[in-house]
Structure 1
Amino acid sequence: MALPHSADLRLLVFDLDGTLIDSRQDLCNSVNATLDHLGKPHLPDAVIASYIGDGASMLVRRALGDPEGDIHDEEYLQNALTFFLDYYRIHKLDFTYAYDGVLQSLEAIRAAQPHLKMAVLTNKPVNPSRDICRALGLEPFFFQNYGGNSFHSKKPDPHGLQTLMQEASASPGQTVMIGDSIVDILTAQNAGAWSLGCTFGLSSVTLAMDVPSLTCDSPQDWATLFA
């Protein structure tokens, strides 16, 4: 399966963690700091990384062994989430970096296709997302950056992607959702848009759960596809 020719596209929407940036270490460190705070043992980084993709609240719940919401002590859960967010807010750029080729590909796309709008749609809270994009030099490429708390729902609910399509005057057939996880692929499908699965990301193993329109092995491939 192939994507439409770049001249027929109007909107590229990028996931953040595992797509534009490698934030694994800072997220893992923040989760383990939260477990320390709660008097719980650390989890291996590989385990925590497998929990990333559905937003901060679900990341914390999974780290506590509660992905189905069986813990009903809301004060306990809120304390854990608040500590995690406060810690991550301070440490979000300790080790996080943009993947090799991201900036170069975004520059090439913007130069070759100035009509093609680009945006970020992540399940990470919006303020850390915008702060990271600003710090890593990504912000100028995106006309919008929405996070997991920007709307009433998170990906794979299509509301955020549909909002971006409306703002960019783009139809589903003119839109590509780019991400490293099944969450991004389902978001695209739920909105009727195209999807590009990034096999180099943090949650790329989940791409096998559904079929994206196309896959890519590095950010450099974006320039080939869209510039």
Structure 2
Amino acid sequence: MQSIPADQVRMVVFDLDGTLIDSRKDLANSINAMLAEFGRQPLPEEIIAEYIGDGAGMLVRRALGDPDDEALVESALASFLHHYRVHKLDFTYVYHGVFEALEALKHGRKLAVLTNKPVRPAQEICAALGLGPYFFRIYGGNSFSTKKPDPEGLNFLIHEAGVLPEETVMVGDSDVDILTARRAGTWAIGCRYGLSSHKVESIPSDCLVDSPLEWISVLDMARQKK
């Protein structure tokens, strides 16, 4: 690992689920509601959590056992999204330290969200939980033709913000986020506390943190100079 040059960072891009928010219970409940609708047995929340990170389609496919029946997957996805639209904020909450960290990091920088969750629920969750005002853009898994770990979305944000890859940091709890950063040529911070934290160390990041508050010590220039 190498030290991230905080004074050169002009944009920080965050994953959403498992990085800014704990949405595990609402996602699991919506998956199990879908499974019940299709006459299947519920899955433990811990198992469903392992399926999160690659978008709603892959979450549903994995929960179904990766069937070959694409029509089934599409119907199940529609069912899951219906349940999740209604129940996405039943138990979801912002991780401790996130607001304090965002306050510290926003000065002189652009902050953004790039998630594989569909963009509308991502934006609605950020708005409802008070996260929205911190971000100049919130993009989801259906905002572009590809999802993370393809770097398309991150590259677009870099261009849109008028920054360079080496002036950008990607923060996430999954190997998907770290791989996205690597492919876009940005810095990467891996979060060991999130929903996919069991996978985050499978690809080397530039820094690993155990809580959102540690983003401050890594990236806040004012505190580093004290």
> What TM-score does the superposition give when structure 1 sets the normalisation length?
0.95
* Contact 1:173–1:194 (CA under 8 A) maintained in structure 2: yes
List gaps (5 residues or longer) in structure 1: none
* Contact 2:190–2:208 (CA under 8 A) maintained in structure 1: yes
- 1:202 equivalent to 2:198? Answer no
Match of 1:63 in 2: 63
Match of 2:218 in 1: 225
* Contact 1:13–1:178 (CA under 8 A) maintained in structure 2: yes
Distance 1:74 1:210 in 2: 31
1:1-227 alignment runs, 5 A limit: 1-66=1-66, 70-71=67-68, 73-110=69-106, 114-227=107-220
List gaps (5 residues or longer) in structure 2: 221-226
Q: CA deviation at 1:89?
A: 0.4
> What TM-score does the superposition give when structure 2 sets the normalisation length?
0.95
Distance 1:3 1:140 in 2: 29
* Contact 1:178–1:196 (CA under 8 A) maintained in structure 2: yes
Distance 1:140 1:3 in 2: 29
Distance 1:76 1:199 in 2: 34
Distance 1:3 1:42 in 2: 44
Q: CA deviation at 1:213?
A: 1.0
Q: CA deviation at 1:226?
A: 1.9
* Contact 1:185–1:212 (CA under 8 A) maintained in structure 2: yes
Distance 2:4 2:179 in 1: 19
Q: CA deviation at 1:3?
A: 3.7
Distance 2:25 2:90 in 1: 8
Q: CA deviation at 1:203?
A: 0.4
**What amino acid is aligned across from residue 169 of structure 2 in structure 1?**
V
Q: CA deviation at 1:117?
A: 0.6
- SS of 1:204's equivalent in the other structure is coil
* Contact 1:105–1:219 (CA under 8 A) maintained in structure 2: yes
Q: CA deviation at 1:215?
A: 0.5
* Contact 2:52–2:196 (CA under 8 A) maintained in structure 1: yes
* Contact 2:4–2:218 (CA under 8 A) maintained in structure 1: no
* Contact 1:197–1:207 (CA under 8 A) maintained in structure 2: yes
- After TM superposition, where is structure 1 displaced by more than 4 Å over at least 4 residues in a row? none
Match of 2:224 in 1: none
Distance 2:82 2:26 in 1: 13
Distance 1:75 1:210 in 2: 34
**What amino acid is aligned across from residue 93 of structure 2 in structure 1?**
Y
Distance 2:132 2:122 in 1: 10
The CA deviation string for residues 53-93 of structure 1, in whole angstroms up to 9 with x for no partner, is 00000000000000xxx51x333221100010010000000
The CA deviation string for residues 181-225 of structure 1, in whole angstroms up to 9 with x for no partner, is 000000000101110000000101102311111111100011222
* Contact 1:3–1:194 (CA under 8 A) maintained in structure 2: no
- Give identity over the alignment, percent: 56
Q: CA deviation at 1:108?
A: 1.6
Q: CA deviation at 1:155?
A: 0.1
* Contact 1:165–1:171 (CA under 8 A) maintained in structure 2: yes
**What amino acid is aligned across from residue 193 of structure 2 in structure 1?**
F
Q: CA deviation at 1:51?
A: 0.2
